[in-house]
Structure 1
Amino acid sequence: MTSEERFGVGEDGFVVKGIDRIIADQQNRARAMFGDDVDLTSGSALRKVLDAAALDTHALWRALESQYYGTFITTAEGPGLDLLGCDLGLRRRELRARGAVFLTIAQEEPGRRYALPQGTVVVTEPAAGKPLLAFRTTGPVILSTEEKTATVEAEAVTRGVDGNIPGGTKMSLDPEWARHNLDLGAAEVTAVAQETFHDGDMCESDAAYRARLLGVPRTVWTQEALLAQVLDVNGVRDAAIFDPLGGVEATRRTYGTFRFGSRAFSQERRTGSPYFFDIVVAAEPGWPWRQGESLVPGVYDEVLDVVRQWRPVSVFPDILAANQVDVGLRATLVVEAGHDEEAVRGAILDAVRASVNRLRLGHGVLHSDIVLGARTAAGVVDVQNVRLRRFAPAFGQTSYGGGTYGGSQELSVGENLDLAPDEIARFSVDTSMADLQVVVT
C-alpha cells in the first residue's frame, strides 16, 4: 500500500478497503510471521483460512461504510433513515390503499349523461364495530342509460392498513359530497370494491421520505416552517403564504388610503396587537373545502387546526382557496401512417395532464413544454399550430397579481399561459378545451 492510500473516513467520504487489498495485506503478514517460503498457494490450508477471514473482514468494512453513510439524510436508507426522521420529529408516512371500484347507476333519466369527476367520494356502508371508510376516485366517469356501469381506480382518504378493504365490499356515494358537488336528481349510484385494496400496509419509499426530511425547516416561526406543515395536510395540492410585512398586502381595505404626510410609513408592531397574513391553498380535485360538505374532513378546517398550533400569539391567518384555471389546447398532429389516431391522441393528453397537474401555484404553462411532451408520443412526426386555452377562474376572495375573470381565452401560437400567484393550473383528459386534429403522413 502506498503512502497516499487511505481507507476509512476521509475528506471524500468513507473509503472501503477492497477484498484484494485485504488478501494482500494478510499474505504479507503471514510471510512476516512464518517466513518468505510459507506456502500461500491456492490449495494450501493457510491460504484457505486467510481467504475465509478476508471475506469476514471485507463484510466488516462494508458494515462500517453503511453505518457512516447512515448518519446523513442524503445517503441513509431504511431503518437508518427512519432514525434520522425521528430526530426531526417526522416519521415515515403510510401509503393510501388503492383498488378498483365498480360503479352502477339506477333510476337515471333517459338520454342524460351523469358525470362523476375525479375526486368523487365513495364511502363504505356502516357496520357494527367497523369504522366508516372514505375513498376518492382518481379519474372521471360518465354514466348513462347506455353505459350504466363503469370501473374506476380509487384511493383511501386515510392512510394506513384500514383502507385495505376486501373485494366485494359495498359502497355508496358520500351523500353530503354528492349534495354539494353533483346534481343526480332521482338517480342513484352504488359502488362495490372490484378487488381487494392494497398498499395500505406499506410505507413511502426512501426517496419520498428523504425529500420530505430535506425540506423540514430548522426554524420555528417562518414562512417556510409554516408552509411545510400546511403542505403535509391531507387534500392540499399546493399552498403559498403572503405575508404583509414581506411585501405590499393589496387585499386590505386600508391599502391605497394611507396618509403618507400625517404619520410614519412603517412602525414596529406592538406586542399583543393583531397581525394578519394570508395562506392561499390549492386543494386536490374533489376534496371538500369546508367541514360538512362531506364525510371527509374539509381542507380549510384541517389547515386552520395546523396553523393554530404554529402561530404566535395575536397572529391570525386568512385561509383562502386558490383559483383553479382549467387549461386546454388546440393543435395539429402529424402522425405516421399505421398508428392508431385515438391512441396517439390519448397518449398526448395523458402527457399534457401529467405536465400541467405538476405545476405549483402561480406557475404558468409553457408552450415549449406542451410541444416537447406531444412530440415524445410514439408515431408523432410533428406538432403544429399549438395554442393554449384557459377557462377563467371563478372570482375568489383574493387576487395577487391580476387574475383574469370573464370568459374563456385562446392564446396565440407560441404564447405561454401566465397565471397569477393565487391561480393553479389543472388539465383534464376529458376536457372540452382539448382540440387535437390528426393528419396522417
Structure 2
Amino acid sequence: MTDQTPPTRPVGPDPPADDGYGVTADGFVLKGIDRIVADQQARARAMFGSDVDLSSGSALRKVLDAAAIHVHELWRALENQYYANFVTTAQGEALTLLGLDLGRPRRQLWATGEVVLAVQDQGPDRAVVVPQGAAVRTVPAAGKPLVELRTTASATLDAASPTATVGVRAVERGPGGNPPDGADLELEPHWAEVHLALGPATVTVTAQGPITGGELDEPDDAHRARLLGVPRTVWTQDAVLSELLDIPGVRDAALFDPLGGIDTSNAAFNTYAFGQHQFTAGRQTGSPYFFDIVVAVEPGWPWLPEDGDVPAVRPAVVDVVRQWRPVSIFPDLRPANQVDVGLRATLVVEPGHDADAIRGEILDAVHTAVGRLRLGRGLLHSDLVLTARSVAGVADVQNLRLRRGAPVFGEVGHGGAVYGDARELSVGENLALAADEIAAFDLDSPLIDLQVVNS
C-alpha cells in the first residue's frame, strides 16, 4: 500500500522563497548548493515518501548530489550572463563586446624586452648618457618591416662601464611592434643626431632575448578603466582629455579654458545685455574662441616632427582635437614644462642588509611613484618618507629634503613657472608644481643624494 503521508519539510529554518533568487531589485541572487540540495531532497520525499533513504550512502542521494552540482553550475552561468551586461562587472569577451558598443575596442599591448647598449671610441674621461625614451629601431632592410622602440631607462656608458642593459618598449601597439627574431637594431639616426652629442663615439644596440608581447590584449582592469572614463557628451573637457590620453606618447594633458567651453555657466553670460555694449573690449563680433591644451609627453617622445623620425606627439594631438572641437573653437597646443625632481636624505639600515640594494629599491619605488603624477601634482614629503620606510631593512629616514631642478622651457605660463629656478626644500616641506608643470625623476639625476648608514 502506498504511503499517503504528506512529505515533511527539510530540517532547519525555512529557506527563502524561490522568487528571492535570480534577477532581483538588488541584482542577481545566486542559489547556493545547499539550497539546491535541500530542494531536491524535498522533491524526492514528495515523490517517494517521507521515509525514503536519503542518507549519505544511499544510491538516490548520490544521484541527487551529482545533479545538484550541474544545477549549481547552471546558476553560476546565469549569474555570469547577467553581470556580463555591465561594464563594472563584465569580464573577458563580454567586456570586449561592451567596449565595441561604446566605440572603444580592446587595445593590444606594447611589445617589451631588453637590449644591450655598447659604446666605442668615446674617448678618455668621457661618458655617453643615453636617456630614457631613446629611439631604437630595426636596421632598414629590403622586404622587412621597420619596427620602432623606446628605451624605458637611462644608461651611462664610459670606459669603466662600456655596456648597459636597459628595457625597451615598442612605439606601436600590437604584433606590428614585435621585431622579427634575430633582427639587427640601431639608435634611430635622426633622433640621435638631435638629442645626443656622440662626436666620434658610436653606440650599438643588441637585443637581449626576444622582444614580444604585442600580440597580447590589455587586461580587463585596464580596459574597464578606459570604458568607465568614456564621456557621454561630445564637447566637454573630459571628452577631449579622454581622447588625448589615448594618443601614443602622451603622459598627461590639461585644458585651460577660462570661459568654461561653449556650455558655460559663467555668471557673466547671465548678466550680459545684448545690443547695449560690447562683451569685452578686446574681442570683436565673429572672432573665433580659443582655449589652451597643455600636453606632457613621455620621456624621449618628440613633440615636433623635426625632433626625430618617430611619430611626433603634436601632429597627433592636432588630428584628434580637430575631430572633437566645434566650429570656430580652436586649441592652442603647448608642451608642458618637465621639472626634474630629486631628494637628499640619510637612510639608517638594519645590520645584515645590502645598502646598495636598499638604495636601488628605494630609487625604483620613487621613480614609479613620480611617473604616476599628473600635471600640476606636486611631491609630498610624507609620501617619500613612507615609501622609503616600507622597504625591508630600512630602520629610519633622516633629514629628507626634496629637490627640484629648473623646468624645461615649454613656452607656457598658466601656472607661474619660474625658469632657471633650482632649489632644495626644507625638511618636511612639500614640492609644489605649477599647473603647467609635470614632475620627472631620473635614476641617474645629480639631484639625488642618498647616504646609507648602519643602525
Q: Is the 8 A contact 2:407 2:421 kept in 1?
A: no
1:223 to 234, 237, 240: 237
Aligned partner of 1:61 in structure 2 is 75
The aligned residue for residue 192 of structure 1 is 206
Change in 2 beyond 3 A, CA 1:36/1:337: closer
TM-score for the superposition, normalised by structure 1: 0.92
Task: Give the unaligned 5+ runs of structure 2.
Answer: 1-13, 262-275
Alignment correspondent of 2:219: 205
Could you tell me which amino acid in structure 1 is paired with residue 101 of structure 2?
D
Please name the residue that 1:285 is paired with: 299
1:102 CA drift (Å):
1.7
1:122-153 residue CA offsets vs partner (Å, 9 max, x unmatched): 11011222221101011111112333322211
Q: Deviations over 1:272-298 (max 9, x none)?
A: 641111110000000111113222110
Q: Which of 54, 61, 65 is the aligned partner of 1:51?
A: 65
Does residue 426 of structure 2 align to residue 412 of structure 1? Answer: yes
In the alignment, which residue of structure 1 is the partner of 2:129? 115
More deviation in 35-44 or 224-233? 35-44
Greater shift in the superposed pair: 330-339 or 88-97? 330-339
Structure 2: distance between partners of 1:363 and 1:305: 27
Unaligned stretches of 5+ residues in structure 1:
248-261
After superposing the two structures, state which structure 1 stretch, 220-229 or 21-30, moved more: 21-30
Residue 436 of structure 1 is matched in structure 2 by 450
1:325 to 318, 331, 339: 339
Alignment of 1:162-177 (within 5 A): 162-177=176-191
Q: Give 1:3 shift.
A: 4.7
Asked if residue 386 in structure 1 is aligned to residue 404 in structure 2, the reply is no
Identify if the C-alpha distance between structure 1 residues 20 and 227 changes in structure 2 by more than 3 Å, giving closer, same or farther. same
What is the alpha-carbon distance in structure 1 between the residues aligned to residue 340 and residue 277 of structure 2?
Answer: 45
Q: Does 1:24 align with 2:38?
A: yes
Q: In structure 2, what is the equivalent of residue 252 of structure 1?
A: none
1:401 and 2:415 equivalent?
A: yes
- With over 3 angstroms needed to count, the CA separation of the structure-2 counterparts of 1:350 and 1:40, relative to structure 1, is same
Displacement, 1:230? 0.3
Larger Rg: 2
- Distance of 1:386 and 1:277 partners within structure 2: 40
Report whether the alignment pairs 1:275 with 2:289: yes
Distance 2:336 2:401 in 1: 25
* Alpha-carbon spacing, 1:29–1:377, altered in 2? closer, same or farther (3 Å): same
Secondary structure in 2 aligned to 1:352? helix
Q: State the Cα distance separating 1:265 from its structure 2 match.
A: 4.6
CA distance in 2, matches of 1:237, 1:198: 23
Q: How many residues are treated as equivalent by the alignment?
A: 426
Residue 4 of structure 1 and its aligned partner are, at CA, apart by: 6.2
Amino acid at match of 2:53: D
Q: Is the 8 A contact 2:138 2:179 kept in 1?
A: no
**1:45-82: CA deviation from partner (whole Å, max 9, x where unpaired):** 43333223222211110000001111111111001101
What's the counterpart of residue 258 of structure 1?
A: none
- Give the TM-score normalised by structure 2: 0.89
Percent identity over the alignment?
62
2:387, 2:277 → 1: CA distance? 55
Q: 1:223 to 1:47 in 2, by over 3 A?
A: same
Q: Which of 2, 12, 26 pairs up with 1:12?
A: 26
Q: What is the one-letter code of the residue matched to 2:96?
A: D
Distance 2:389 2:134 in 1: 32
Question: For residues 93 and 227 of structure 1, what CA distance do their matches in structure 2 show?
Answer: 18
> How far is the alpha carbon of 1:271 from its aligned partner?
9.1
Any runs of at least 4 consecutive aligned residues in structure 1 with deviations exceeding 4 A, and if so which? 262-267, 269-272
Q: Residue 357 in 1 paired to residue 371 in 2?
A: yes
Q: CA deviation at 1:432?
A: 0.6
Separation (CA, whole Å) in 2 of partners of 1:394 and 1:106: 30
Is 1:245 the counterpart of 2:252? The answer is no
Residues 439 and 40 (structure 1), Cα distance of their counterparts in 2 relative to 1, 3 Å cut = closer
- The CA deviation at 1:109 is 2.0
Q: Distance in 1 between matches of 2:90 and 2:437?
A: 37
Give the structure 1 partner of residue 159 of structure 2.
Answer: 145
8 Å contact from structure 2 (residues 248, 313) kept in 1: yes
> Given the alignment, which residue of 431, 441, 451 partners 1:427?
441
Match of 2:103 in 1: 89
Q: CA RMSD in A?
A: 2.0
Counterparts of 1:400 and 1:188, CA distance in 2? 41
Query: In structure 2, what is the equivalent of residue 257 of structure 1?
Result: none
Judged with a 3 Å threshold, the aligned counterparts in structure 2 of structure 1 residues 439 and 46 are, in CA distance, closer, same or farther, namely closer
Rounded to whole Å, the distance in 1 between the matches of 2:295 and 2:328 is 22
**What SS class does the counterpart of residue 418 from structure 1 fall into?**
coil
Distance 1:219 1:271, change over 3 A: farther
2:246 maps to which of 229, 232, 245: 232
Q: Does the CA-based 8 Å contact 2:341-2:404 persist in structure 1?
A: yes
